[in-house]
Amino acid sequence: MENHVLGIHHVTAITDDPQRNVDFYAGILGLRFVKKTVNFDAPDTYHFYYGDDIGRPGTILTFFSWPGYPKGRPGTGEVSAIAFSIPESALTYWQDRLSRNGVTVNGPIPRFDDQVLLFSDPDGLPLELVAHRGADQGSVWTEGPVPAEYATRGFHSVTLSVAYTEATTKVLTDVLGFHPVAQLGNRFRYTVGDSGMATLVDVLALPNGRRGMGAVGSVHHVAWRTATDEYQAAWRQKIGEAGLNVTPILDRNYFHSIYFREPSGVLFEIATDQPGFPVDEDPSELGTHLKLPEWLEPRRAELEHALPAITLPTSEQGK
């Protein structure tokens, strides 16, 4: 089997207002809206997927829509920041673009060898743009509102805020195959493989921190990549042998998934690279139709009536 996960597959967070979410992520951040579907566990609510041109693993940010739910409480036991890669030359562009669209931006601040912009989405979800030398290698959505030379290049990293640092890092290193690469105060950086796109995780050690409460504006889980179903079955066995409670393998239509919590409480998933988002929609039409799993098709008329209409922003560049 693989001796390490392949990096970040996707991150799933929670939003209150689906239209506002689309306006921000597709309209301001310029991500491609690659899939409009429903939460399989609550099919009267949306599940949105954003990414690069075809939603490659390592670029996928997804949202459950929980209208009317309270805001989450930041704390330990959660992913406390999601960071996207941008080219070094794009830093000023993003400062201007975010500010022009009413987003409060902090930074840039130095972190390790990079420059980081910090801001939040309309629900309060903490986001970062990391300008670094290797960002040009990432894939780009060229037909969105952000010119290709400035566009995000998938994930840079996620930050885990944890109370039990030693136990969490033991899972990262001994189970998932990460290795340490840097430390800055109470921030410990780990990577897998060749430290390419979407392979970094920062562990923020907060031994006296208050436990977070997941809700609107919080990350629900982070998913790590594996290449095949066979490898995933082996990962499931390894995770169980490490004494962690792991779910059965679940079919999410666009990937297959297992879930478990690490000792500080962060929900982890391992997701397969295949079959991918073009499995039920032509690549040129990704995100333009409500896609349902086969077992929900008999309820299509009911669900389409219950779900609010969504308008995608225009892709005119330079705004």
One-character DSSP codes across 106-130: EEEEEETTEEEEEEE-TT--EEEEE
- pLDDT number for residue 195: 66
* Bridge partners, 182 (sequence order): 189
Angstrom CA distances, 296 to 120, 154, 259, 282, stand at 34, 31, 23, 20
Q: pLDDT truncated to tens, each residue of the chain (319 aa)?
A: 678 999 999 999 999 999 999 999 999 999 999 999 999 989 999 999 999 999 999 999 999 999 999 999 999 999 999 999 999 999 999 999 999 999 999 989 999 999 999 999 999 999 999 998 876 776 788 889 999 999 999 999 999 999 999 999 999 999 999 999 999 999 999 999 876 789 999 999 999 999 999 999 999 999 999 999 999 999 999 999 999 999 999 999 999 999 999 999 999 999 999 999 999 999 999 999 999 999 999 999 999 999 999 999 876 554 4
| Pairing label, strands 126-131, 114-120 | antiparallel
Q: Which amino acid is at 206?
A: L
Whole-angstrom Cα Rg for the chain: 19
CA atoms within 13 A on the CB side of 22: 20
- pLDDT number for residue 237: 97
| All domains in the chain, ordered by first residue | 8-306 (3.10.180.10)
- pLDDT number for residue 138: 66
